[in-house]
Structure 1
Amino acid sequence: MMANKTVLVRSLALAFGAVAALPAFPALAQTTGPAAAEQQPMQRVTVTGSLISRADKETPSPIQVLTAADIARSGQTSIAEVLSNLSANGQGALGSGFAGAFAAGASGVSLRGLSVGLTLVLVDGHRMSPYPLSDDSQRQFVDVSSIPFDAVERIEVLKEGASALYGSDAVAGVVNIILKKEFKGFSASAEVGNSQHGGGKMHKVTATGGIGDLDTDGYNAYVSAEYRHADPIKVHQREQYGWASGDWTTRGGLSVLRGVPNESNSFLTAASSPFLYNPATGVNNPASYQFLDPTCNFVKYRAGQCMVRDEVSNLQPESDRMSVLAGFTKKLGEDWTLALKASMFRRESTNGRGLTNAVAFTPSNTFGGYTALVPGQPPRIVNGVPDTRIPAGGINQLGAPARLYGLIPGAGSAAQQNNESTATRFAADLNGSWGGWDIGAAAGYSKVKTESVYSGFVNRVALYNALRRATNPYNPLGGNSAADNAAIVPTFGDKAESELTFAEAHAQRELARLPGGGPLTFAAGLSWYKKELNAPPPDLLAQGVVGNGAAYVFGDETNTAAFAELNALPLQNLELSASARYDHYDTYGNSFTPGAKFKWKAHPALTVRGTFARGFRAPNAAESGISSSTFSFNAIDDPILCADGDRTTAGNVPSACGFVPAFVQTTNPDLEPEKSKSFTLGLIVEPVRNLSATLDYYSIEVKNQINTESGLPDFVPVYARNPAVPIDIADGNGGLVTGVPPVGTIAYAQSSYVNSGGVKTTGVELDLSYRWNAGDIGNFRTQLSLNHMISYKLDQVGVEYELAGTHGPSVVSGNTGNPKNRAQLTLGYEKGPLTLTSTFNWTGSYSGLDPSLGVNDCADIAGSVGGRAYFNNNPNGTPPEYCKIRSFMSTDLNAVFRVNRNLTIKASILNAFDRQPPIDVATYGNAGPQTAYNATLHQAGAVGRYFSLGASYTF
């Protein structure tokens, strides 16, 4: 605690000291003479986090503004990529590189590392319907990957709690994506891009046209359309790098490449050639094997020469994005204005973790079945196959019943999900004045619909029935009928919908002039919204026909709220404000959240500011409605079948050692909302013209956190087990025998949502900007945003863990890493028609440990945190050199040249120095077991050096 306070004190003292040390400070801080006369008064605007308009760009709250020019100069081609590089975006963020996520294909923002569920994302200041597929099937969020790039006017990032004005979810902050208000003329652009190392080829076209001038014609109408396609980036296109090779044999571990036998799979795995195996004669006996394809034999197989080449797994999925935005603004007389907007954002992507056992013949004497999750019914283990062995005779020439290993022909080599998401939105805003009040009213409707098509999932009952047919049995080498293939590997789909309807109104007016000469301004408003979620499971998964039950959610909630804000300038240099909100939910009840802010201009060049806020997050339908899902997060040893954790101990079942169990998630209708308390304290320093710096300390404490109880330290799972059937058992001499264990293998355990403990995070954030006019040389600019996390403490049922700079809390909000430091530095140069920009995106190092999982030893991080088998053969576990995940920085270069008043060309190089991502063996958030990098923090490294070239024409 003393160390944390020391960091804060030193940071504040340094800022104060830097200001005090300037010898000409008072003179430099003021602008006089002709330059001052040329300055125009700032237009009053309403910023995110307040109802009351203001002229001062610096607010009591820390706000980062990304203009359309800033976004264009970044060199990125999607809003999701821009937001992923925010220094305030941390642990729990969701990126498109996590192909196996519950919310497949979507991207979400996690301010202050508190998860996507505690960051509120607005579009034009209004709520948007959340993505129907929640993150980890729990946290609802707005998918920012579908927001059109060229339709954005600016993005305002409020980095403090704002529930007093916005209600639920605004705990860590608010991201307000503001779309174009008006456009006159016509603009078209085209852009192409490609990765140096293959994959990711991109092309994008946009067109915007508008008519009417608000000031002269009294109206403006425009339409903007954008289409973007990106090819996938495959794992095999990066397999030359250590983080993607999958072969750890030279690094103290195993090869986890598909088809390579080793200790972790008991030397039995699906290879490039299907083979029959007689378990009665042992895994090390060549006579136990019959390879059906002559390209492989026992010697090649054991040498790893019959591996299955991965042509499927994605580092970044193929995606298509199309958007249409239409706006109409009309002056209604006097100062009333009506603005209408309609939009359709569509995204299609193919997701999946690549090679999985879902498309392999079952490697055991029996198949225990799948766990069915049918809405309204308890979990059930169904569709087991009591004997999966192929009888002697026919294709089986081993003389005894044998198991069949290999990939199923016609199934491909991966279970895939093609995901199409369409977001539609209609909104109307009416603004004007009446009776001395500035009035705003809005109403709207938004809907997000996802349609998913699943492939590569196997109907095991149909498969083994076909293999056992007396006539024309299913051929493991292929050439089977279309009817067989369709029955064994069916293609199926589902639809999920999320809807939000809202209406709100607010008004503000100046109540009085205070003795100090400043105004006393009051604002108040009412809001109502209804959220509906209808996300049924795909039937074949729900019934346990082709896999374990998929997530489903049904539910709705209605919120009614009243809110108010009071702003006062009692002294010339002092601003005070207070706000409060009362929410009523038809699901759990009521919440009251107050807030207060101040800003004191202690000197013309020095301002002190601070905020205090209460916040909350209401339980959503996935947590308290009709919902269920299956999940897994870290490896365990079966307490009965592998009690000592050694797969070679006589009597142990090797497949029950170091395996990742499944949990069935259940809801809890008695959940209370998560509650937060946050404050910020900061400085605004402007010692000279064009130089501005802000330094803000933040503290956010969340209590009553809604977590799955399986992640709590006192949780004792009750396992549902499959029937006890013949299975491989260690003989104590390094071999296997077939026998019936005392109990069946673990199928799943149930885990409910509970309010448990909480989290408190503190940190310091620095924002620095400077512009320098160098005359004939040109204009220079620099912007720096740096976030340093001082502490991140997780409290679980009275046990506290310090997780800043670790991999935790991997069980709470995704295994994305929790670095203490993130920064973004932008250097720009402008002269005439040329603009050059360099952007440096830096993420600090962090540890692979996760104390919240009880993992405090580096030797355990790969298996116990990431659930990876890289070092299952190493008696010392994970080598110490992989305990720390090194820092990473990508450098993006962007050049824009205005050829004439109509034509502009631009070129970008992302990750210009081709930095590779650091190896992270403790993460599961990436393309699959072959890759060992953090897709949330280091995706730019996985993509590698990326070139793009574009042009735009405006008239």
Structure 2
Amino acid sequence: MFKPLSISLAIAAAFPQLAYADEPARVVVTGSNIRVSEKEGASAVQVISAKDIAASGKSSIADVLRAISANSGNSYNEQYTGSFSAGTAGLSLRGLGQKNTLILVNGKRVSPYATAQDLQEVFVDLNSLPMESVQRIEVLKDGASSVYGSDAVAGVVNIILYKEFKGTELSVKGGASTQGSGQTEKSAALQTGFGSLAQDGYSVVFSLDAQQRSKLQQSDVDWMAGNDWRGRANGSLAWTPTNYYGTDATKLLGGLQGPLEQKPYGDITEGKSGLVQAYNPAQYKTLIPGISRVHSALRGTLRLNQDSEAYADLLYSHSRADQTFGAPLTVSNGSLRAWNNTLQKLDNISVTLPVGHPNNPGGKPQPISATLFDLGPRLKSDKVDFYRVLTGLKGTLAGWEYDASVGRSASKLEETVQNFVNRYEFEKVLADGSYNFADQAKNSEAVRQRLRLSTLRPAESKLTTLDVSAAKDLFELPAGPLGFAVGSQWRREEMNSDTSTAVLSGTELRPAINIIKGTRDVAAVFAEFNAPVVKDLNVNVAGRADHYSDFGSAFSPKASVRYQAAQWLLLRGTVSRGFRAPSLPEITNSTSVSYGPVIDAKDPITPKQPRSVTNITRANDQLRPERSNNLNLGLVIAPSSNSSVGLDYYRIKTRGVIGTDSVETILANEARFPDKVSRDAEGRIITLYKQYANQGDREASGIDLDLRQRFDLRQNGKLSLNAQLSKVFKFSAPLSEGEPLSNGAGNNYFGSIPKWRGVTSATWDIGNWSSTLTWNYVDGYDQTKAARPGERVASVATFDANVAWQLTPAATVSLIVQNLTDQRPSWDSSASSFFDFTQADPRGRFASVKLTYKF
């Protein structure tokens, strides 16, 4: 039996016999516009309280949400350093991508990040949202397009901030890696509030939090520093050969310089002989960027009269992420490019030493490959300013509960890079021989400064919203009131992700481009009925019609049933249709030039190692929206007010999934795609060409198990046990357009999708002490990438601990240890970091101390 399941069932076996819970008050839950009295609704909603967040010891909203079991795969955080969205974090419920999980704050949309993740994914950056002011987070694990529209195919996360807060709370926190990597982290937070709606007629809550963390390089982690993976499955000495003539890496250009060492070629590439000059790229690889963030939130509510109130929310954050973008630029004939904006293509830049060049000993022009070590590593810094201003009125009028709001939100990026290379100056020094490739110590600083290039890339995303909704009980049915809600929404989405002037002028060598320019308007109307058919049986039906100014319209219906079969047994189910509108980078006149690792069995130099190649990806204005059919069935057993067992099944079928062919598929069928692969004269890949298309269908299915138990141990305190376990049955999609579905559950066909993921925690409160131990489990998966036969990535289990001691009624000190047993990430030879950063963390054990003071 699977270990996570057996542990979770052991918790369930501890549940006591039947007792009955009290009926909760009427509330609005995420996924509906109608107030209901049931604690558990027709859709599965996981609630993470402020107490749960504190007990987890996590440092950000992103860390909290990414730890839930429904986060199956394909979500990224700041470990994705090769992204156009470096320093960000998102969430991908059910593994369906961040673009299919809708993030709300206080039930309303916020602006997505300034540019797209992986060129096409428009998502909300969780790192831009405040942590200190969160009262609870509701995670709806069901499609909700009928209520919220696009992007809610996989589910919805509603981050709810405090509406009232009494007093002031201050906290400071400091921590460091215990493994000698030198990484440190510190944070501080303030939350204060005054006023009470019930007593004073107003309330104001303000929070401010700041976080700073140092950069972690691969060379700082002892077991990764050498980049020597010989002895691992499909592993080798992962060093980079450079400084050679032509395409033969053994024809050395100059001697050892900078980080170069002489290595047997066969240690790097199996089957090769001779000696090469190579360097260890670990020193140039940032695993986790250095970050500094400041978040603030201000929420005010004013009671206008007995039936109405005005409210306003203001969110603002500033974030900065610094990283080593990569090693100094390697120039190589046939693979060096610059952008031609007139022709909208890449121009090839010759890297051939002319006759008479000091480094050319022959009598004819000589192509070379060389790394410009003396220019220094390429560095990148991303600065992001995010805000949302929202104001509205809510209350009761003529029996209707209404809510009307208008909001404006934006995310603005300024990305700067250093030590990139000026194409025109490079062509000059190549022609006149003023740059010495063979002995770079002889180069003058003036020549180096001519070659160095710093650039600025701006991007901005804006969202303007107008929301109006109203709800009331229309009339009494024999089993209770018929609830009804209706509303409309208008929003304008804008994205202007540009590139630097150096790229547009063709000045920057090996440019990365993610140009997105688009604006569209969305108008929607929606309605919802909640009918008690008979006692303990409720039926809810909802529908929403959306009209987009670019592609057209979509309609999303939903029906759900909630049956309280007994006081201890709830049965529930939903069936719905949803959609995801093509994102602006997918459907507008956008062009992207990116670089990614490719394992190419035909590569004449490194056929078994990932090698970065150029990808040109184009938008498609003929795209249709993705359309989904969602089915959710579940039950909740509540033997007592202290016990519950929830089991939910989900199935999401999506038609017309938007994407591009995978690299593996293109290379495996290169004869079928002659226009998609460009190789140089020696046979090395230069460019892969892709375009977005509605490729085919996708089906995801699985179960969620939720177990909760509280024990009153009398003089020994209280013990709370919580377990969430998710299993993916199926994650099927075509590998390329027109091909049959392939199941990606338990492998990495479509990003790593482990079949099992679980989170189990135990909290023991006794006297002035509160201790939480959390077990995080991520199942292993099969390696399906090319040239990786028979490899399986092992499962990983880690423990987090948080021990809090209340020194005084006002002061609490906590010791927090993440990854208590210092578990390393599992080996994955297909990943550029040799582990999958979407599923694991390379920091090892990290210990922190936190002091909280309330007054």
Q: TM-score, normalised by structure 1?
A: 0.81
What is residue 451 of structure 2 aligned with on the other side?
A: 488
Bigger CA drift: 215-224 or 78-87?
215-224
Q: How many residues align?
A: 832
Which consecutive residues of structure 2, in runs of 5 or more, have no partner in the other structure?
A: 266-273
Equivalent residue for 1:535, pick from 486, 494, 497: 497
Is the 8 Å Cα contact of residues 757 and 794 (structure 1) preserved in structure 2?
yes
Is the 8 Å Cα contact of residues 896 and 904 (structure 1) preserved in structure 2?
yes
What is residue 390 of structure 2 aligned with on the other side?
A: 427
Deviation of the 1:444 alpha carbon:
0.6
Deviation of the 1:309 alpha carbon:
6.7
What is residue 111 of structure 1 aligned with on the other side?
A: 93
Deviation of the 1:701 alpha carbon:
0.6
| Structure-2 separation of matches of 1:396 and 1:633 | 32
1:403-438 Cα distance to aligned partner (Å, 9 max, x none)? 66654254213x332111111110113210010111
Equivalent residue for 2:834, pick from 923, 927, 932: 932
Equivalent residue for 2:186, pick from 203, 221, 245: 203
Letter in 1 for 2:543: A
1:649-699 Cα distance to aligned partner (Å, 9 max, x none)? xxxx98899866533111111111000000111111012331111101111
Residue aligned with 1:466, SS: helix
Deviation of the 1:455 alpha carbon:
1.9
1:856-898 Cα distance to aligned partner (Å, 9 max, x none)? xxxx22xxxxxxxxxxxxxxxx5x4xx1111111100001122
Residue aligned with 2:421, SS: coil
| Structure-2 separation of matches of 1:916 and 1:774 | 36
Equivalent residue for 1:805, pick from 731, 738, 746: 746
Residue aligned with 2:647, SS: strand
Deviation of the 1:245 alpha carbon:
3.9
Deviation of the 1:541 alpha carbon:
2.9
Deviation of the 1:193 alpha carbon:
0.8
| Structure-1 separation of matches of 2:260 and 2:641 | 74
Equivalent residue for 2:824, pick from 916, 924, 929: 916
1:720–1:335 Cα change, 3 Å: closer
Deviation of the 1:184 alpha carbon:
2.8
Letter in 2 for 1:194: A
Deviation of the 1:916 alpha carbon:
0.8
| Structure-1 separation of matches of 2:167 and 2:442 | 59
1:411–1:284 Cα change, 3 Å: closer
Bigger CA drift: 209-218 or 493-502?
209-218
Deviation of the 1:223 alpha carbon:
2.2
What is residue 899 of structure 1 aligned with on the other side?
A: 807
| Structure-1 separation of matches of 2:293 and 2:19 | 48
Is the 8 Å Cα contact of residues 136 and 161 (structure 2) preserved in structure 1?
yes
- Answer yes or no: is 1:466 the counterpart of 2:429: yes
| Structure-1 separation of matches of 2:70 and 2:679 | 49
What is residue 49 of structure 2 aligned with on the other side?
A: 67
| Structure-1 separation of matches of 2:713 and 2:483 | 42
| Structure-1 separation of matches of 2:259 and 2:502 | 36
Letter in 2 for 1:359: L
| Structure-1 separation of matches of 2:218 and 2:226 | 9
What is residue 291 of structure 1 aligned with on the other side?
A: 255
Is the 8 Å Cα contact of residues 254 and 439 (structure 2) preserved in structure 1?
no
Letter in 1 for 2:854: T
| Structure-2 separation of matches of 1:371 and 1:394 | 26
1:212–1:395 Cα change, 3 Å: same
Question: RMSD of the alignment, in Å?
Answer: 3.2
Deviation of the 1:354 alpha carbon:
3.1
What is residue 39 of structure 2 aligned with on the other side?
A: 57
| Structure-2 separation of matches of 1:389 and 1:89 | 52
Equivalent residue for 1:146, pick from 113, 116, 128: 128
| Structure-2 separation of matches of 1:456 and 1:257 | 24
1:667–1:171 Cα change, 3 Å: same
What is residue 353 of structure 2 aligned with on the other side?
A: 389
| Structure-2 separation of matches of 1:192 and 1:944 | 16
| Structure-2 separation of matches of 1:113 and 1:824 | 17
Letter in 2 for 1:702: T
What is residue 768 of structure 1 aligned with on the other side?
A: 707
Is the 8 Å Cα contact of residues 718 and 749 (structure 1) preserved in structure 2?
no
1:397–1:662 Cα change, 3 Å: closer
What is residue 848 of structure 2 aligned with on the other side?
A: 948
Letter in 2 for 1:202: E
Is the 8 Å Cα contact of residues 103 and 137 (structure 1) preserved in structure 2?
no
Letter in 1 for 2:763: G
Residue aligned with 2:428, SS: helix
**Structure number having the greater strand percentage:** 2
| Structure-1 separation of matches of 2:202 and 2:560 | 38
1:790–1:283 Cα change, 3 Å: closer
What is residue 335 of structure 1 aligned with on the other side?
A: 307
What is residue 642 of structure 2 aligned with on the other side?
A: 690
Deviation of the 1:479 alpha carbon:
6.8
What is residue 89 of structure 1 aligned with on the other side?
A: 71
What is residue 380 of structure 1 aligned with on the other side?
A: 345
Deviation of the 1:631 alpha carbon:
4.1
Deviation of the 1:351 alpha carbon:
3.8
1:723–1:618 Cα change, 3 Å: closer
Deviation of the 1:299 alpha carbon:
8.3
| Structure-1 separation of matches of 2:258 and 2:586 | 53
Letter in 2 for 1:218: G
Equivalent residue for 2:146, pick from 141, 154, 164: 164
1:583-617 Cα distance to aligned partner (Å, 9 max, x none)? 11111111111001111111111111111111001
Letter in 2 for 1:335: D
What is residue 411 of structure 1 aligned with on the other side?
A: 375
Is the 8 Å Cα contact of residues 441 and 504 (structure 1) preserved in structure 2?
yes
| Structure-2 separation of matches of 1:773 and 1:176 | 31
Is the 8 Å Cα contact of residues 212 and 220 (structure 1) preserved in structure 2?
yes
1:615–1:284 Cα change, 3 Å: closer
Letter in 2 for 1:769: R
Residue aligned with 1:311, SS: helix
Equivalent residue for 1:190, pick from 167, 172, 190: 172
Which consecutive residues of structure 1, in runs of 5 or more, have no partner in the other structure?
A: 1-6, 32-38, 262-268, 271-276, 648-652, 730-743, 810-814, 862-877, 924-928
Is the 8 Å Cα contact of residues 637 and 644 (structure 2) preserved in structure 1?
yes
| Structure-1 separation of matches of 2:446 and 2:41 | 66
Residue aligned with 1:529, SS: strand
1:88–1:279 Cα change, 3 Å: closer
Identity of aligned residues (%): 29
| Structure-2 separation of matches of 1:144 and 1:627 | 25
1:322-377 Cα distance to aligned partner (Å, 9 max, x none)? 1121121111111311111112111110245533xx523x34xx455415264xx5
Residue aligned with 1:240, SS: helix
Is the 8 Å Cα contact of residues 710 and 717 (structure 1) preserved in structure 2?
no
| Structure-2 separation of matches of 1:659 and 1:494 | 25
| Structure-2 separation of matches of 1:299 and 1:94 | 35
Q: Note the 1:259-270 alignment, pairs <5 A.
A: 261=241, 269-270=242-243
Q: Note the 1:338-357 alignment, pairs <5 A.
A: 338-352=310-324, 354-355=326-327
1:572–1:455 Cα change, 3 Å: same
| Structure-2 separation of matches of 1:514 and 1:383 | 74
Is the 8 Å Cα contact of residues 103 and 156 (structure 2) preserved in structure 1?
yes
| Structure-2 separation of matches of 1:181 and 1:246 | 51
Is the 8 Å Cα contact of residues 261 and 277 (structure 2) preserved in structure 1?
no
1:473–1:200 Cα change, 3 Å: closer
1:633-657 Cα distance to aligned partner (Å, 9 max, x none)? 67475xxxx9xx484xxxxx98899
What is residue 654 of structure 2 aligned with on the other side?
A: 702
1:296–1:318 Cα change, 3 Å: closer
Deviation of the 1:558 alpha carbon:
0.7
Equivalent residue for 1:246, pick from 227, 235, 254: 227
What is residue 519 of structure 1 aligned with on the other side?
A: 481
Deviation of the 1:446 alpha carbon:
0.3
What is residue 270 of structure 2 aligned with on the other side?
A: none
Equivalent residue for 1:30, pick from 20, 29, 42: 20
Equivalent residue for 1:672, pick from 601, 624, 637: 624
1:803–1:300 Cα change, 3 Å: closer
